[in-house]
Amino acid sequence: MVVVLGSEEVDEVKSNSNCKTELDGKVTGNGDDGQKEPIKPLQLAVMVPQDAAPGVTFLQIDLDEHGRRLSIMVPEQAAPGDKLVLTEEDGSSAEDRRWSVKVVKTSSVPAVSVGSDDATGPTQLTVPVPADAIPGETWLEIDTGDGQRLSLKVPVEAMPGQDKLVLKRKDPSEEDCNDDDWHCTLVRLRNTRPATVRSREYDLSSLAIAEPLRAPVVPDDIAYRRLVKAIEAAGGFVSPKMVRGCGPMGVPGILTTEPIEAGEELCRIPLKLHISEHKSKEAAPQLHDSMEKAPGIPNERCDEAGLSSFLTLLLHNAEDRAVERASREARGEAIAEDDMTMGEIPEGMSAEPDVWRVWERYFDGLLAEDFLWHPYRQAASDIQAFREGMKPSPETQHVISMANDIIAVHGCAKGHVPKELGQRFELSMFLRARMSVLSRVFHAKHGSTLVPVVDLFNHTANPSVLWRWCDVDDAEIPCPPEGAMVVTAARAHEAGEELLDSYGARSNVLLFRTYGFTQPPELEPGWSCCLSPERQPPEVADIYTRFLPPASASPMIILDSKRLDEALVASLNAAVSAGNDAPEFLRQLVTASRKPYEQDDSLRPALEALRCIREKDPSSHAWWEGVGCEVSGNDFTRVKMSEYLCLTTYIEAYQHFADPESQPIDRCLERARGVTAVLQQALEMLKENHCFQMMSTVVEGPEIINPKGERVL
């Protein structure tokens, strides 16, 4: 019984209500004659019978030809038709075999039958691939209509929600064919690709714990020194006055070993050493081609998936080198710290030797990053605790959605990585790769890129280093022909100081969702709150529907205390075009969005402190002065207070527009007076001219243009 896509054999299927299968797809079962075909794998998959009672029924499973059997209770979380994957645990002996059990959910799907034979039942079935299926993982339970059931794994090439599976009963006269054997063909519409990655609520526990590496990583300081040596050998420059170490916060970063002058060059990393979508496509074109062919990945995300897959393979290679080093050390071999031996470039990849050596050293260091502190991992570790701690923030659903997206993209990509590029493509390593792109990438002249050494500087709101792009004709700094990223000191430093970069003037909301940390609220440069009907309560989502036309009713609006978001501008104009009151839309949206924060018990100390501060000074937002560090230092509290202050900014901006006498601007939050003044002008223009346009969304001097073309500051 073979499932075939075109002429390629990809899986197997058996009609049997109580079958036993190896994980490679080969199926054996109990025939009517009672004869058994024993198998001896380290893993078994068993279907839960339709008449099983979870938590009550025991299944008897034959293990080998000697008559040994395994007795297991059907787990309570299992349901009839699910698969139980049994894995023999390490350390088991022939006398004491210990097993772990994992429940794999199956989907029951309707089938359309074509033709019928009175003796054998339907001859052909057509089954849609469910939209929530995971290719290569989800099992489908198919009722043939004649009392039989087929169990079929969704092929890895299938596109959920779009493709169909056509099953034809095989001719019993064929060689090695039984009466209940079926042939399956995947049917797809031409040129069908999804607009987005089809995601759903996965079991995030697979992201919760960093899988233990097979060998110890290179110590951080040694990995840094080896990386610097490789960069210099490839034509780059890294100041000998810098060293890898922990600063006052205890987080690994870059420290000085000698005094540094203002303007002094700290590092120069040539473009050829960067790792970007373009560079990864040059190094592994076959990998990127495979992502373009992978069903389920939209065209606009193929390069992103290609880069993440490339990083995943290089991380696996780094782990292999760690295993080799451990093996050599176990044999008593001494490995010099300055060992610059380069591994073999995998078949199907290409790069200049000096570039590949830098990448190897870079990934030796990157392998130590497990990102356990990031909210994606926090949500996966205890999703209920994460929801409780973050409520009512819309960031809760954003984080969960992004964690689900990582699993979804990995599921789409894993079956299409060419085997010659690497035999392993584990989710845990793919997560490290995606998180590295998210938290380390620079948006430079030639697009988004990872830059060795430059991405080791930690963040501060007041940076002590500056980075810029340097071209070959730059008169100040010698650069290679392709250009380089250059970092210089923004001020003088004493020996032992930490060198700090700025990741941008980001609110704690945006810092947390991207990098997984927040900064003290007194250093936060502004506040933000990301609103979307999909991530807000129904009573708030209804506001979008009532005020905006259908084509504009699902915007992602990023409210910010320093600028007007383009989506907000478009939504206000759309409300007017639909004949609705745009200022009223804004008022209802921000007021309803802020209400849940005022009902949040965990925020009460911070909100009470803010109320007391504003009674003395209405323009102040210094809530942290009235609470202890256990409150002001909590990441969840910092994120939610940033959102609360941002929503308050827009509520007061509306009030100032509607009645400037009762809400004068000097009683609005001082930090946000710029956007308050600009929004007042925008709402007045909407009232008079029914539309407005922002020439610049930054509040330091934006220009608003009315329909007559008159510029208003």
Claim to verify: residue 477 and residue 571 sit in the same structural domain: no
Look up the domain containing 658 and give its range: 516-712
475 shares a domain with 521: no
Nearest to 183 by CA among 197, 172, 192: 172
Of the pLDDT bands very low, low, confident and very high (cuts 50, 70, 90), residue 110 is low
The count of other CB atoms within 10 Å of the CB of residue 183 is 18
SS3 320: helix
Q: Which residue has the tokens 């040596």?
A: 229
Specify whether 558 is located in the same domain as 613. yes
Instruction: Note the pLDDT tens digit of each residue in 199-250.
Output: 567 788 888 877 789 999 999 999 999 999 999 999 999 999 999 999 888 8
Contact 520, 508 (CB under 8 A): no
| In a domain? residue 199 | no
Quick one: residue 690, left, alpha or beta (phi over 0 = left, psi -120 to 50 = alpha)?
A: left
**Beta carbons of 499 and 254 less than 8 angstroms apart:** yes
Is the pLDDT score of 20 beyond 50?
A: no
Backbone angles phi and psi of 487, in degrees to 5: -115, 130
- In this structure, the answer to whether residues 462 and 523 fall within a common structural domain is no
Domain's final residue, options 478, 501, 524:
501
Q: Which residues contact 639 (CB under 8 A, 6 or more apart)?
A: 390, 393, 395, 508, 509, 512, 518
At 429, is the pLDDT very low, low, confident or very high (cuts 50, 70, 90)?
very high
Two tokens, residue 386? 């994460």
Domain match, 276 and 355 both: yes
- Tokens coding 382: 């205890």
Q: Which of 344-358, 466-480, 697-711 has the lowest mean pLDDT?
A: 697-711
Amino acid sitting at position 198: R
Angle of the 582-598 helix axis to the 538-547 helix axis, nearest 10: 180
245 is written with which tokens? 């170490």
pLDDT of 703: 36
- 16 forms beta bridges with none
Higher pLDDT, residue 354 or 340 = 354
Question: Does an H or E element contain 486, and which?
Answer: strand 484-489
Give yes or no for a contact between 388 and 346, defined as CB atoms under 8 angstroms apart.
no
Any domain includes 68: yes
Please check whether residues 557 and 438 belong to one and the same domain: no
In angstroms, the CA 363 to CA 312 distance is 10
| Distance in angstroms (rounded) separating the CA atoms of residues 214 and 632 | 39
Residue 40 has pLDDT above 70, yes or no: no
Top-confidence range, 65-69, 621-625, 703-707: 621-625
CA distance 172 to 179: 5
**pLDDT per position as a tens digit, 270-324:** 999 999 999 999 999 999 999 988 888 888 899 999 999 999 999 999 999 999 9
Q: What is the pLDDT of residues 160-208, one digit of tens each?
A: 777 788 888 777 666 665 556 778 887 765 455 565 666 567 788 888 8
Q: How far apart are CA 349 and CA 364, in angstroms?
A: 18
Residue at 680: amino acid letter:
Q
Cβ-proximal residues to 598 (8 Å cutoff; 6+ apart), any chain:
607
Q: What is the pLDDT of residue 114?
A: 56
Same domain, residue pair 183 and 246? no
Q: Report yes or no on 509 lying in a domain.
A: no
Q: How far is C-alpha 685 from the geometric centre of its chain's CA atoms?
A: 40
Distance of CA 608 to the CA centre of its chain: 36
Considering the chain, what is the average pLDDT of its residues? Answer: 83
The β-bridge relationship of strands 498-501 and 275-276 is unpaired
- Please report, for the chain, how many H helices and E strands are present, in that order: 18, 33
- Rounded Cα distance, 608 and 598, in Å: 10
- Predicted confidence at residue 70, as pLDDT, reads 79
Instruction: Take residue 81 and report the two structure tokens written for it.
Output: 């038709």
Q: Averaged over 406-430, what is the pLDDT?
A: 89
Beta carbons of 221 and 244 less than 8 angstroms apart: yes
- At 11, give phi and psi (nearest 5°): -165, 180
Q: pLDDT at residue 425 above 80?
A: yes
Same domain, 444 and 579: no
Residue 101 in tokens: 């059990």
Q: What is the pTM of this model?
A: 0.75
pLDDT of 549 strictly over 60: yes
Report yes or no on 635 lying in a domain. Answer: yes
Spatial contact of 297 and 306, defined as CB atoms under 8 Å apart: no
| Contact predicate 13/148, CB 8 Å | no
DSSP 500: E
pLDDT at residue 354 tops 50: yes
CA separation for the pair 403, 627 (Å, rounded): 33
CA dist 660 and 684 (Å) reads: 12
Domain boundary among 474, 501, 528: 501
Residues 359, 456: one domain?
Answer: yes
Residue 363 is predicted with a pLDDT of 97
- What DSSP designation does 521 have? G
| One domain for residues 229 and 337 | yes
2: burial class by Cβ within 10 Å (0-12, 13-18, 19+)? Answer: middle
Q: What percent of the chain has pLDDT over 90?
A: 53
Residue 507 lies in a domain: no
Q: Which residues contact 94 (CB under 8 A, 6 or more apart)?
A: none
**Dist. CA 313–CA 319, nearest whole Å:** 10
Number of domains the chain is built from: 3
696 vs 639 pLDDT, higher one: 639
Q: Which residues are 705's β-sheet partners?
A: 693, 711
Q: Is the omega angle on the peptide bond into residue 240 within 30 degrees of 0, that is, cis?
A: no
Query: Which residues, in sequence order, are bridge partners of residue 127?
Result: 165
Strands of 112-258, DSSP E:
112-117, 121-128, 139-143, 149-153, 164-169, 182-187, 237-238, 242-246, 252-256
Give the span between the Cα atoms of 31 and 585, in whole angstroms: 68
Does the structure show a pLDDT above 50 at 705?
Answer: no
In this structure, the answer to whether residues 443 and 322 fall within a common structural domain is yes
Domain boundary among 446, 473, 501: 501
Within its chain, how far is the Cα of 13 from the centroid?
34
Q: Which of 43-47, 141-145, 168-172, 592-596 shows the highest mean pLDDT?
A: 592-596
User: Could you report how far apart the first and last alpha carbons of the chain are, in Å?
Assistant: 74
Flag whether 529 is in a domain. yes
Q: Does residue 133 surpass a pLDDT of 80?
A: no
Other CB atoms within 10 A of residue 85 CB? 15
φ/ψ of 241, rounded to 5, equals -85, 0
Q: What is the CATH number of the domain that holds 318?
A: 3.90.1410.10
Q: 105 Cβ partners below 8 Å, 6+ apart?
A: 79, 82, 138, 139
Listed residue (656, 663, 575, 670) closest to 617, CA to CA = 670
In a domain, 508, yes or no: no
Name the strand (E) or helix (H) holding 650: helix 635-658
Residues counted in the chain? 713
494 plus 526 within the same structural domain: no
Q: Report if residue 653 sits inside a domain.
A: yes
